[in-house]
């Protein structure tokens, strides 16, 4: 049964979902923009018979605290540090990471800092290559190059309920299978006072992730961590070439595409859960055998 808990990290509450046997292999699930651990609500029970699953809400997202911007700089470096301390606080030291969207640079920064802790990587539309960035990033990239108030204000369009709903439905074959509470919850949490400025800060700082892409790619080459990419091929932000590129640095990476959009779990939860079970059962057993 999934439990809903809080851990205190640096004085702030981090909300998280947890399920599965604690003695089993752990998977740390890291969400992206504009969502929260809610996006894993169906995946967690699909894997919890065998795996220990932990899904935190990043600071400023979901039901975690949103520290004041005057005392907490909203950067991906700081988000990764919070998640690192979160894992230490709840006592998980080795785990696979499931990374999606913003969760990719957070999780991969954690992997760079502590490669010995990462047993496998599952990337669901979690990009680490420039060829994976679509033209949908153009307004944000314009802000990176010229961070003036006008370019910042233009990005508020991404924070509107219509934009969130569009992210969920774009590229989906059958929109009637997408639960409306998913995008409605995201929109409600985005609308909290001050959250718009947090999100705009993170839009600006995303440039720091692109600057780290070469280091992420070197990590894939040198560490050869088992890697599975499960990708909604119609994603308007992260293109299929970003998934295919994993094989360039890790020839053993496994890449699977699904005929859906950005939030692939909304439409292909069963297929992705099955792929993860197959992948981890093979790869984690291989790791155990090599250790022996």
Q: Among all residues, which ones are annotated catalytic?
A: 262
The reported pLDDT for the residue numbered 287 is 52
| Distance separating alpha carbons of residues 17 and 7, to the nearest angstrom | 11
Q: Is the pTM of this model over 0.85?
A: yes
What residues contact 66, with CB distance under 8 A and at least 6 apart? 59, 60, 192, 194, 195, 198
What residues contact 20, with CB distance under 8 A and at least 6 apart? 44, 47, 48, 49, 50, 51, 52, 53
254: Cα separation from own chain's centroid: 18
In this predicted structure, the answer to whether residue 108 has a pLDDT above a threshold of 70 is yes
Give the pairing of strands 52-56 and 26-30: parallel
The reported pLDDT for the residue numbered 285 is 72
Fold of 3-291: Rossmann fold (3.40.50)
Tokens of 254: 């496994």
Query: Each residue of 262-279: pLDDT tens digit?
Result: 999 999 999 999 999 999
Query: Each residue of 161-192: pLDDT tens digit?
Result: 999 999 999 999 999 999 999 999 999 999 99
Domain boundaries, the chain: 3-291
Where would I find the H helices in the chain? 43-47, 76-90, 103-113, 138-145, 149-154, 161-169, 180-190, 195-223, 240-244, 246-249, 265-291
């Amino acid at each position: 049964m999934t439990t809903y808990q809080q851990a205190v990290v640096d004085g702030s509450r981090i909300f998280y979902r947890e399920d599965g046997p604690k003695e089993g292999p752990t998977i740390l699930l890291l969400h992206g923009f504009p969502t929260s651990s809610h996006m894993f609500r169906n995946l967690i029970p699909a894997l919890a018979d065998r795996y220990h699953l932990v899904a935190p809400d990043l600071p400023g997202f979901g039901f975690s605290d949103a520290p004041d911007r005057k005392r907490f700089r909203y950067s991906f470096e700081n988000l990764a540090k919070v998640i690192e301390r979160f894992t230490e606080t709840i006592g998980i030291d080795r785990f696979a990471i499931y990374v999606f969207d913003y969760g990719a640079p957070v999780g991969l920064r954690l992997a760079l800092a502590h490669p010995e802790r990462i047993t496998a990587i599952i990337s669901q539309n979690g990009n680490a290559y420039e060829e994976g960035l679509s033209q949908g990033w153009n307004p944000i990239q314009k802000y990176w190059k010229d961070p003036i108030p006008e370019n910042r204000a233009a990005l508020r369009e991404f924070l509107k309920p219509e934009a969130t709903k569009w992210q969920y439905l774009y590229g989906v074959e059958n929109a009637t299978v997408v639960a409306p509470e998913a995008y409605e919850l995201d929109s409600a949490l985005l609308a909290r006072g001050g959250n718009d400025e947090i999100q705009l800060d993170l839009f600006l700082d995303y440039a720091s992730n692109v600057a780290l892409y070469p280091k992420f790619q070197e990590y894939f080459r040198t560490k050869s961590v088992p890697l599975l990419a499960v990708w909604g091929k119609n994603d308007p932000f992260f293109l299929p070439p970003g998934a295919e590129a994993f094989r360039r640095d890790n020839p053993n990476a496994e890449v699977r595409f699904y005929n859906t959009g950005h939030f692939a779990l909304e439409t292909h939860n069963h297929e992705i859960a099955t792929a993860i079970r197959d992948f981890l059962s093979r790869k984690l057993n291989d790791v155990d055998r090599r250790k022996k």
